[in-house]
Each structure stands twice: as structure tokens, then as C-alpha cells.
Amino acid sequence: MRGDPAFIRMRDTDCMTRVAPSLLGEQAGLSTAGGSIGDFIALLKPRVMSLVVFTGFAGLVVAPGDIHPLIAGVAVLCIAVGAGASGAINMWFDRDIDAIMNRTCGRPIPRGAVSPDAALSFGGVLAVFSVMLMGIAVNWMAAGLLAFTIFFYIVIYTMWLKRRTPQNIVIGGAAGAFPPMIGWAAVTGDVSLASISLFLLIFMWTPPHFWALSLFREGDYAKAGVPMMPVVAGQRATKRQMLAYTLLLAPIALVPAWLGVAGLIYAAIAVGLNVAFIGHAIAVLRERDVALPAHGAGKGGHRAAKAMFGFSLIYLFGHFAALVLDRAPGLVELLGS
């Protein structure tokens, strides 16, 4: 499919105006060959999955208690498959707006590689399998949290909030924040203040992360009618809120150290990352607003927002890597000697 001239046109230019209508949406003129394995893997949103898996793994590592390495591996696998299932069902529901946005029109459903029904079945089966396996192999608290995460992402975020309110990713961000709690529950079988602190770290990180993206993808969201903050409240208000969230996030990021979930390595890295993140937010605020071009592509400018978006990924990865490092056997003693 990637070699198809129609697909190349679709990726290079505006999706709706350049692609034959038969390649878009419901009457997608589905590829008669059906989806390839790669298309079905793409439905799982592997890049999102990697961050989810890593944060879930970190929650599992820092939780107090013991877990058999194989059971831990199964827990991480279930988190990965559950996240992938959510991604597939999200792509099924959002296929109409995915076909409009430049960022998403190359996804398997709008491209016509996988039928919407096949994507829904694929996601549904994987969701059930991941939750049941988590329950049977690990424990039912972790399975319940995984099921709730999938429900929250699909029903609360994708179906309800995403197209209705600019607070969509503020509330919906909870879905992406649950994985460390699931990893923690896989070990302890419960929910604690410490695991909630890991949840809060991702929950508060999500708005500035997504709003940075939506600043330089504003035209895409406006075209698709998704009420992201810059579309509804304007760039200036969005930038102010991004700074407010990064300022609130900084003390929250230190709570795991305060609660004893993490030690000095984490605290030192967290301080550095938060100072840098606030610096990025200030740079975004100071950057000149960019008027949307008439065609709505909205790709120009926003250098600071793009830099902040890239850094936000390092920020989250850095915090959870630090959590894991703090628990690495002998590392603290080595640094202290």
C-alpha cells in the first residue's frame, strides 16, 4: 500500500482534497488484498504503546514486594496488549476525523487497508484477552485497573470528551496515567498513595504535552472539528495554561521521592527535568503567535512548541527511567562510595 500513488499523494498533501473520495472513510474502496500484518500492528499505535509499557514496567519495578519474573513479564505484556487494543478501537471510532487530519490520514482505516469492522473486532478481542489474562495470571486488581483504563480511553476520552470540550485531554489524560498504577497493582494487589503519585505525574504532564502538539497542529484539529485548546481558546490562552500546568507539575513530580517511592537519584533528575520543562513553557509563552494559514494546514512556526513537545517525551521517559535506576541493585551504593 505504501507504494500506491494514491497513498503517496495522501501523505504528501491535504488528505481530503487530494485523495480520491473512494479511498477515504466508510466506503474506503478497501484494498481487496485486506490488511497486512504491518497494518494490524499500526492499529496498536506502537509508539504510544512503548511509553505505556515503559511506565507500566517502572510501576512494577518500584512497587514494594516480590513478583515472579515470568508473572511480571505477563503483566507488562497485558498492559501492552490492552493499550494496543484501546488504540485499535480508538482508530475505529475516529476514522472519520483521522481521514481529515494530515497527521492521521495515513492510518490503516482511512487508507483503506483495514476495514472498520476488522479493526473493531481486532481491538475488542485483544482487550478481552489482555484483561482476562491479567486477571488469571497476575491478579484481579491489576486486571480491573486495566479494564477501567481501556474503558476510560475509549468511552470517556474518545467517544465522549474528545469532540466536545477543550478539556478533553485534561480529563482524558487519566487513561494514559493508569499504567504505572497497573504495574504497581500487579505486584501489591492494591492501590496506594505512592502509586497514585505516579498516576498524577503523567496526568499533570499530559496537558502541556498535548497542547504543545496541538499548537503546531492547530489547523489539523480545526479542520477536523476537534475542540483542542488552541482552536477554542486561542494560542495565547493555551500557552498560559501550559505554563500553569508545568508549574503545578514540578512539585507533583517530586512527590514520589517525598513518599519514599524513589530516592536521591530520582529527585536530582526530576529537579533538572522540571526546570528545563518550565524553561520550555516560558519559551513557548514568549514565542509569537502564528496565524492559521487560509488552507488550515497550520504547520509553520511554533519552533518553541515543537521543541517543548519533543522535550516532553524525554521528560516523562527521564522520570520513569530515574525511578527504575533508583531501584537498580547497588547503584545508589556505587554512587555514594
Partner 1 sequence: MNAPQTPANDERARRQRARNWAIFLALAAFVVIVYIVTIVRMKGG
Dihedral, CA atoms, 275, 277, 283, 289, nearest 10 degrees? -150
Q: At what angle do helices 179-188 and 69-93 cross, to 10 degrees?
A: 150
Which residue is it, cell 503517496?
8
In whole angstroms, how close is the CB of 230 to partner 1 at the nearest point?
A: 40
Options 26-34, 91-99, 207-215, 283-291: segment touching partner 1 (CB under 8 A)? 26-34
121 scored as a contact of partner 1 (CB under 8 A): no
Nearer to partner 1, 31 or 274 (CB): 31
Residue closest to 54 by CA, chosen among 267, 324, 331: 324
Q: Which is nearer to partner 1, 138 or 265 (CB)?
A: 138
Q: Are 171 and 218 in contact (CB under 8 A)?
A: no
How far is it, in rounded angstroms, from Cα 77 to Cα 166? 33
Going by the DSSP 8-state scheme, the letter that residue 22 receives in this structure is G
Residue 267 · residue 275 · CB < 8 Å: no
29 to 68: interface string for partner 1, x by CB under 8 A = ---xxxxxx--x---------------------------x
Q: Which is nearer to partner 1, 77 or 282 (CB)?
A: 77
Pick between residue 31 and residue 214 the one whose CB is nearest to partner 1: 31
Candidates 7-15, 132-140, 151-159, 186-194: pick the segment binding partner 1 (CB under 8 A). Answer: 132-140
Phi, psi of 300 (to 5 degrees): -75, 155
Q: Which residues, numbered 282-301, are part of the site for partner 1 (CB under 8 A)?
A: none
Closer Cβ to partner 1, 67 or 177, answer by number:
67
Please report how close the Cβ of residue 141 comes to partner 1 at its closest, in angstroms: 16
Measured distance CA(262)–CA(326) in Å, rounded:
6
H/E element holding 74? helix 69-93
Name the segment binding partner 1 (CB under 8 A); options: 71-79, 160-168, 268-276, 289-297. Answer: 71-79
Of residues 251 through 270, those in contact with partner 1 by CB under 8 A are none
Q: Which residue has the cell 475509549?
A: 154
Whole-angstrom distance, CA of residue 154 vs CA of residue 152: 6
Enumerate residues 299-318 that contact partner 1 by CB under 8 A. Answer: none
Interaction site with partner 1 (CB under 8 A):
32-37, 40, 68, 70-71, 74, 77, 129, 133, 136-137
